[in-house]
Amino acid sequence: MTSNHIIRVVLWMTGALLSFSAMAVSIRELAATLSVMEILALRSGFGLVIMAGLTAARADLRSTLFTRQFPLHVFRNLVHLGSQYVWATSLLLLPLTTVFALEFTAPAWALLLAMPVLGERMTASRIGAVVLGLMGVVVIVRPGLATFQPAALLVLLAALGFANTLILTKKLTRTDTTFAIIFWMNLIQLPLALIGSNPLFVTKLAFADLAPALAVGISGLASHYCLANAFRWGDASVVVPLDFLRIPLIAVIGWWLYGERLDPLVFSGAALIVAGILWNLRSEAARAVRPIDFKTRA
């Protein structure tokens, strides 16, 4: 990677980190006015308006929307919407740092699911990532102690759902474009979220809710867009470690806005989870490099 590429990755990841944090804070702020499902409907509605506008303006994007995998899109978005609902609910019950740290178990669950669903083999580094991830969960959740918070199980359930979403997304990328996947995501999730919402929920929004409402819609799209561009300009071994900066960033935000305590055990557990994922990334990168056989070169 050149220095120019690194700068681009850092800039796009800065946008992604700020978007994820803005989403969490906005959900907390809107929860006093809207239900969790109404917040998710607001996010999907905003995203669909933007995606529909792009589709109407660009014929090349319209041509990518046809899919032969519609049932898989529906299943993926049922899982994703349910996971988002559980994740957003956990934001109202737990410190922000705990939620973000436990959310990073999703890659470990995805490694386990990739074996039966995608036929990928389990390697030593993948097993190590899962084991370290589980150890990190134990450190953060502290089962059996007075400090155990049952709501932490919601985050683990959400992370498992996000892992399923990652696997299903990988299957969809074999036939569908990223734009099509995000378009169908918003189009499918909006009516599902509206079913669990007050049809006139928008009328409940006051002027003070305008900023977090816009932040929910903007950050929902911006997080996907920034992360995708970061991966476009940099390898996963560079992008993923930067993504882990979400944990200290949200810890500072939680302390600053809500007076949440900076828990050393949460950071220790997060470090175990991160160590496992980084170990697997390094091993995967090493396996991707194939030695050149000079005897067969022309």
Q: Beta-carbon neighbour count of residue 277 at 10 Å?
A: 26
Up-side HSE of residue 176: CA atoms within 13 Å toward CB?
22
Q: Beta-carbon neighbour count of residue 50 at 10 Å?
A: 16
pLDDT (tens digit, 9 = 90+) per residue, 196-208? Answer: 999 899 999 998 9
Spatial contact of 150 and 111, defined as CB atoms under 8 Å apart: no
The ranges assigned to domains in the chain are 3-287
Q: Which of 219, 209, 86 is nearest to 152 (CA)?
A: 86
The mean of the pLDDT values for the chain is 83
Global confidence as pTM? 0.81
Q: For residue 278, give every residue at least 6 positions away whose Cβ sits within 8 Å of its Cβ, in sequence order, or none.
A: 240, 241
Spatial contact of 180 and 67, defined as CB atoms under 8 Å apart: yes
Cα dist from 186 to 40, 49, 165, whole Å: 10, 9, 14
Q: pLDDT > 90: what percent of the chain?
A: 34
State the average pLDDT over residues 107-118. Answer: 69
Running DSSP on this structure, what letter comes out for residue 28?
H
Question: Would you state the pLDDT for residue 272?
Answer: 85
Please state which of the ranges 20-24, 165-169, 219-223, 285-289 shows the lowest mean pLDDT. Answer: 285-289
Spatial contact of 136 and 105, defined as CB atoms under 8 Å apart: yes
State the average pLDDT over residues 28-41. Answer: 94
Phi and psi at residue 156, in whole multiples of 5°? Answer: -65, -40
Running DSSP on this structure, what letter comes out for residue 113?
H
Q: Which residue has the higher pLDDT, 177 or 86?
A: 86
pLDDT at 6 over 80: no
Spatial contact of 45 and 188, defined as CB atoms under 8 Å apart: no
The Cα–Cα gap between 9 and 16 comes to 10
Question: Would you state the pLDDT for residue 292?
Answer: 45
pLDDT (tens digit, 9 = 90+) per residue, 260-280? Answer: 888 888 888 888 888 887 787
